[in-house]
Amino acid sequence: MDAMVRLTTTLAITISLLSTFANIALTFDGGGDTKQQPTLCGELVLPAGYPCSEHVIQTKDGFLLGLQRVSSSASIGYHARESRPPVLLLHGLFMAGDAWFLNTPEQSLGFILADHGFDVWVGNVRGTRWSHGHISLSEKNRHFWDWSWQELALYDLAEMINFINSVTNSKLFVVGHSQGTIISLAAFTQPEIVEKVEAAALLSPISYLNHVSAPMVQRMVKMHIDQMIVTMGVHELNFKSDWGANLLVSLCDTRLSCSDMLSSITGKNCCFNESRVAYYLEQEPHPSSSKNLNHLFQMIRKGTFSKYDYGKLRNLKEYGNIKPPKFDLSRIPKSLPLWMAYGGNDALADITDFQHTLEELPSTPEVVYLEKYGHVDFILSLQAKQDLYDPIINFFNSMGKVSSI
């Protein structure tokens, strides 16, 4: 029972958008052999019988990101082999590209898209285990971790899209979950990025965060955990390290039970496979930066969808204004087709915040509402194929032939 509590606790932390500090040290098997470098293709895709290739791309600020390309030899598709439309998958916070391959090939979006004749590209942002460091900074250097989701949008996502666009000579589809939707929406406000995107499907879409209802997250925000860890000199949030466990345990005291941590962070999830938790934990969680958590908590506190707030003086220096510039959703072109799915039990992508996002978008996205879904269900639900992935494929296929630019 205790182990299950710990596993559930850790899963919650791993998958949720705004979580922190998990009891990983107790549930991981020690981290494995560091000598042989595992790859996402080698661990999750090739063993399932799907062709997969590894690529490394370099961002403008020097980060080296792993990008995988997956196809299917047994494509049941709609699309001719030579005209497979590219789709880029963007994972959430503390996850990486493996998120799209965690269930069986019949249940996981990465495999399902490949089976339907898409040219699947799997994104991994800086700091995750599938990224490859930096051209000059070591991961031990604090400057390596000096970024938040705004850099993930303007550097990482921009570079992924450029690379895929140049290899395929085609516009691409984008699918994001959670943090993957924040960075998509921020990037789509930039004309030079969005012109290469054909359409996007966003799961648990997030821009504004001030109605986050998750008690555990609200508590961490009130306690200023984000600023605390930065002050402590912790710049990398890596739950495979030992120290976070103690803080987590200290956070779930009498008022917030540890056993229901999953719900207290993500909302009550209806539909994932609890017997697979140990397997999920072989992949998750991936590191992120303390600054990223800090930026997200700023959004919760202030109700803004803006760049990182350094404080008035430094803002003036960084941005030429005492306030950080906002990402203006009204600049996302009306012509960009959007499909969005949100959940009635999602305590992170709250319905009120989602409505706020919709109001500011010039277009009217196709919207799917799943009353029972919590934040985790969008990626792990056993019914996700029927509820989400088939509708996404129909949406993409309804675009007709993908145009080149």
Of 127, 125, 113, 105, the residue nearest 172 (C-alpha): 113
Element (H, E) at 52: strand 52-58
Query: Please, which residue, 41 or 384, has the CB nearer to ligand NAG?
Result: 384
* Among 137, 247, 382, 399, interactor with ligand NAG by CB under 6 A: 382
Query: Please, what sign has the CA dihedral across residues 91, 97, 98, 104?
Result: positive
* Joined tokens for residue 90: 């963007």
Distance CA 205, CA 342 (A): 7
Tell the residue number behind the tokens 């182990």, with chain if given. 3
DSSP string, 77-104: -SS-GGGPPEEEEE--TT--GGGGGSS-
Q: Closest distance between ligand NAG and the C-beta of residue 278, in Å?
A: 8
CB 357 within 8 A of CB 329: yes
Binders of ligand NAG among 255-274, rule CB under 6 A? 273
User: Please, which residue, 5 or 382, has the CB nearer to ligand NAG?
Assistant: 382
- Residue 383 sits in the site that holds ligand NAG (CB under 6 A): no
64: exposed, middle or buried (Cβ count in 10 Å: 0-12, 13-18, 19+): middle
Q: Minimum distance from CB of 11 to ligand NAG (Å)?
A: 13
- Name the residue whose CB lies closest to ligand NAG: 273
Q: With respect to ligand NAG, which residue has the nearer C-beta, 78 or 279?
A: 279
Which residues have a catalytic role annotated? 178, 346, 375
Question: Residue 274 or 390: which CB sits closer to ligand NAG?
Answer: 274
Which of 279, 369 has the CB closer to ligand NAG?
Answer: 279
Q: Count the residues of the shown chain that bind ligand NAG, applying the rule CB under 6 A.
A: 5
Q: How far is the CB of 108 from ligand NAG (least distance, A)?
A: 11
Tokens matching residue 168 = 């395929």
Query: Which residues 206-245 are close enough to bind ligand NAG by CB under 6 A?
Result: none
Q: Tell whether residue 275 is a contact of ligand NAG (CB under 6 A).
A: yes
Name the minimum Å distance from CB 66 to ligand NAG. 26
Taking the complex as a whole, how short is the minimal distance between the CB of residue 389 and ligand NAG, in angstroms?
15
By the 10 Å C-beta count (0-12 exposed, 13-18 middle, 19+ buried), 346 is classed as buried
Given 132, 196, 219, 276, the residue binding ligand NAG (CB under 6 A): 276
When asked if residue 48 is in the footprint of ligand NAG (CB under 6 A), the reply is: no
Nearer to ligand NAG, 167 or 382 (CB): 382
Q: How many Cβ atoms from other residues are within 10 Å of residue 383's Cβ?
A: 16
Provide the minimum distance between the beta carbon of 33 and ligand NAG in the complex, in angstroms, as a whole number.
23
Rg over alpha carbons for the chain, rounded to the nearest Å, is: 20
Structure token pair of residue 72: 């299917």
Of 190, 170, 53, 75, the closest CA to residue 122 belongs to 53
Residues near ligand NAG, by CB under 6 A:
273, 275-276, 279, 382
